[in-house]
Amino acid sequence: MSSKPFDWKATPGLSTLSWVVYLFLYAPLLVIIIYSFNAGRQATLWEGFSLDWYAKVFHNRDIGIALSNSLIVAVAAMILSTMLAVTAALGLRHARAGGGGQITLGLILMPLVVPEIVVAVATLVFFSGIGLKLGLGNLIIAHTVFCVPFAYLPIQARLTDMGSAVEDAARDLYSNEWQVFRRVTLPLLLPAILSGAMLAFASSLDDFLISMLLADAGQTTLPVYIYGMLRLGVSPEINAVSTLLLASSVVIVLVALRMQGMTKRKS
Amino acid sequence: MNARLTTILLRSPVLVTMVLFMLAPMALAVVYSFMTNGAYGGVRMPFTALAYRQLLFQEDFDGNLVFSTGYLAILWRSVLLAALTVVASLAIGLPLAWYMACSSPAKRARLLLLITLPFWINTLIRTYCWVLILRDEGLLNGGLRYFGLAGGHFLYNDFAILLGMIYTYLPFMVLPIYAVLERVDGDVIEASHDLYADRWSTFRRIVWPLAMPGAIAGSLLVFAPALGSFLAPDLLGGGRRLMIGSLIQLQFTSSRNWPFGAALASVVSVAILAVLFVVVRRSFNKVPAR
């Protein structure tokens, strides 16, 4: 009776709706990027193309200091959280449901569910309670904790993906456990480790709230500095520095996800 | 035995780190919430429940305790706005996730990337975008005036906060729903159509139950950060329309009332744990064991 076979994959109107949602996600970001090239003083009145605000950003010493703080914290938190994530993923590889491994896993994923403000406040209280004053070290510890899940998840996914056949083969060929790890597991895992590390780096750069509550004078990170600028009012300089931060996050994450994708295609 | 030792050695660094720098601080925050407010921030002895009393009661001029709804109202607003964020994200995220799951594999990968990407962009910047658009001299008003329409005040209201939160947390809803829908067997959908179900009943009877675990996970992942949200109420609500996140932040900055801030943070944590507990239990009861 009906002429066309029914296509359940095409619900009418759904594709339009989806493009509207994508527009909703990206149009605001485009707004900030476009206005960062605005010549005028007004943040949202277009007066022609110019790179002046970027020049201003590059000559702003405070932004330079904030950026270097951000990078120090992000690199340190990336290294520490990735090391923790690799050992954790290997240790939890054969964990069974209901065992002690599940508790460890729950703890690793905890920063994903607990609101940032709670983590920020608890860490602030804790550092002041035990009298820990390591300068940027305090920030590094706090960032490491919430970066662990982001580093952990890709590594864990890769371990599940690759199974243990290749490692078993190496064992059959008389490799000892260390050799298996060094020659088989680690090389297979490396792309996932790098990808996890970059995601940890990106989430450290992404943080604002925890840094704001924990940072003392002189430890201002870039997002905290931008927030301070915002308090003084909207300016094109904010648009420029925001665009730079936005662009670097996007590049880092694209590279990280690409690496993850490559491991999938190979296996 | 050797393998067991290795496992313990591998697990312990992360376990120690998370217990020491995540669990212990949260426990200490609970302890602080029962202490007395120090003069210049911080806390001092003795132990007291004053911070929690402050949440519900105020002292009037005669020193009598009067039930006060001020802080409760802020709590209620926060829960309401977070719940609305969940509902709106679900309404947008479910069809979007279904659209993604129905696309060809190559297109899926691209759509997925485009959903994940904003998650990694600084939330401060993503919220600030909306300030540029919504403020009085902003893009929206400029556009309206250009077309000869009357502008309005779009910033500093609950709607702006809600918009900012949906914008920030939408990916958290889409991703878990997509993760379950992606694995749905197309034959099930076709079988439903063969049995004369129209699109709506197929959605209601087949797709929605299958999407449920993802929707539950997504709702939790949206609700938890939305409840403690700071940037949206601060930048888009103008800091005057408080939510609990900004109220907590105030206690550690200008108000200098650490015990009260710690008490609020504890209340938020308990609220989220309670929701988590109820949802996880209910979903376990509902889904038959396979």
DSSP for A64-133 reads HHHHHHHHHHHHHHHHHHHHHHHHHHHHTTTPPTTSHHHHHHHHHHHHHHS-HHHHHHHHHHHHHHHT--
> A34, A118, A178: best mutation site toward chain B, by most B Cβ within 10 Å?
A118
Quick one: CA torsion of B134, B140, B142, B144, rounded to 10 degrees?
Answer: -140
Phi, psi (rounded to 5 degrees) for B36: -90, 145
- Residues in chain B within 8 Å Cβ distance of A164: none
- Please tell me what DSSP assigns to residue B9: H
Angstrom distance (rounded) from CA A227 to CA B131 = 13
Residue A118 is predicted with a pLDDT of 92
Whether A266 has a pLDDT exceeding 60, the answer reads no
**Inter-chain residue contact B25 with A116, CB threshold 8 Å:** no
Residue A267's pLDDT band, with cuts at 50, 70 and 90, is very low
- Residues in chain B within 8 Å Cβ distance of A227: 124
Q: How many CB atoms lie within 10 A of CB B15?
A: 19
CA distances to A220, A231, B11, B157, B159 from A105, in Å: 32, 39, 10, 40, 37
Residue B96 is predicted with a pLDDT of 93
Residue B93 is predicted with a pLDDT of 93
CA distances to A112, A211, A240, B255 from A109, in Å: 6, 20, 34, 32
- Residues in chain B within 8 Å Cβ distance of A118: 26, 29, 228, 248, 265, 268-269
Q: How many CB atoms lie within 10 A of CB B159?
A: 13
**Inter-chain residue contact B132 with A43, CB threshold 8 Å:** yes
Contacts 24+ apart (CB under 8 A), B177-180: B177/B93, B177/B94, B177/B97, B177/B211, B177/B214, B177/B215, B177/B218, B178/B97, B178/B100, B178/B101, B178/B112, B178/B115, B178/B214, B179/B214, B180/B210, B180/B211, B180/B213, B180/B214
Of B13, B113, B225, the CB nearest to A115: B225
What percentage of chain A exceeds 90 in pLDDT? 25
**Inter-chain residue contact B135 with A234, CB threshold 8 Å:** yes
**Inter-chain residue contact B116 with A257, CB threshold 8 Å:** yes
The answer to whether A256 and A202 have CB atoms below 8 angstroms apart is yes
- Residues in chain B within 8 Å Cβ distance of A87: 10-11, 13-14
- Report the sign of the C-alpha dihedral through residues A15, A17, A18, A22, in that order: positive
Quick one: CA torsion of B202, B208, B214, B215, rounded to 10 degrees?
Answer: 140
Which stretch of DSSP H or E encloses residue A194?
helix A186-206
Q: How far is B68 from chain A (nearest CA, A)?
A: 24
Residue B162 is predicted with a pLDDT of 94
- Residues in chain A within 8 Å Cβ distance of B121: 29, 206, 246, 249-250
**Inter-chain residue contact B122 with A246, CB threshold 8 Å:** yes
Closest of B258, B104, B263 to residue A129, by C-alpha: B258
The position carrying tokens 């939510």 is B243
- Residues in chain A within 8 Å Cβ distance of B185: none
Closest of B109, B107, B204 to residue A15, by C-alpha: B107
Tell me if the domain spanning B78-286 has CATH number 1.10.3720.10: yes
- Residues in chain A within 8 Å Cβ distance of B25: 119, 122-123, 125-126
Residue B177 is predicted with a pLDDT of 92
Whether A204 has a pLDDT exceeding 50, the answer reads yes
Of B19, B117, B224, the CB nearest to A253: B117
Angstrom distance (rounded) from CA B266 to CA B48 = 15
CA distances to A73, A218, A233, A252, B125 from A65, in Å: 12, 8, 21, 21, 19
Of B99, B123, B139, the CB nearest to A31: B139
Higher-scoring residue by pLDDT: A82, A46 = A82
**Inter-chain residue contact B133 with A226, CB threshold 8 Å:** no
Residue B148 is predicted with a pLDDT of 75
Angstrom distance (rounded) from CA B104 to CA B144 = 39
Residue A44 is predicted with a pLDDT of 58
**How many pairs of residues across A and B have Cβ atoms under 8 Å apart?**
244
Of A186-195, A230-239, B44-53, the range with the highest mean pLDDT is A186-195
Of A25, A84, A208, the CB nearest to B122: A208
The answer to whether B158 and B237 have CB atoms below 8 angstroms apart is yes
Whether A64 has a pLDDT exceeding 70, the answer reads yes
Cα end-to-end distance, chain A, whole Å: 46
Q: How far is B76 from chain A (nearest CA, A)?
A: 17
Domains and CATH numbers, chain A: 53-266 (1.10.3720.10)
Q: How far is A203 from chain B (nearest CA, A)?
A: 7
Residues A195-206 have a mean pLDDT of 88
The answer to whether B75 and B244 have CB atoms below 8 angstroms apart is yes
- Residues with Cβ within 8 Å of B146's Cβ and at least 6 positions away in sequence, in order, are none
Residue A83's pLDDT band, with cuts at 50, 70 and 90, is very high
Residue A2's pLDDT band, with cuts at 50, 70 and 90, is very low
- Residues in chain A within 8 Å Cβ distance of B138: 44
Angstrom distance (rounded) from CA A226 to CA A69 = 13
Going by their DSSP bridges, the two strands B43-44 and B36-37 should be labelled as antiparallel
**Which runs of consecutive H residues, i.e. helices, occur in chain B?**
2-18, 24-33, 50-56, 70-102, 105-116, 123-134, 139-146, 158-181, 186-194, 199-202, 208-227, 231, 244-252, 258-286
Give per-residue pLDDT as tens, A10-63. Answer: 777 788 889 999 999 999 999 889 888 887 776 556 777 878 788 888 888 888
Residue A101's pLDDT band, with cuts at 50, 70 and 90, is confident
CA distances to A7, A15, A243, B195 from B189, in Å: 10, 19, 44, 10
Give the number of residues written for chain A.
267
Whether A84 has a pLDDT exceeding 90, the answer reads yes
Closest of A149, A178, A142 to residue B14, by C-alpha: A149
pLDDT per residue of chain B (290 residues) written in tens, 0 to 9:
577 888 888 888 999 999 999 999 999 988 888 887 776 667 777 777 777 877 777 776 677 777 777 788 888 989 999 999 999 999 999 999 999 988 888 888 889 889 988 888 888 999 999 988 888 777 787 777 778 777 777 878 889 999 999 999 999 999 989 988 888 877 777 787 778 777 778 878 888 888 888 898 889 889 988 998 898 888 888 767 788 888 898 888 887 888 888 999 998 888 888 888 787 777 655 544 43
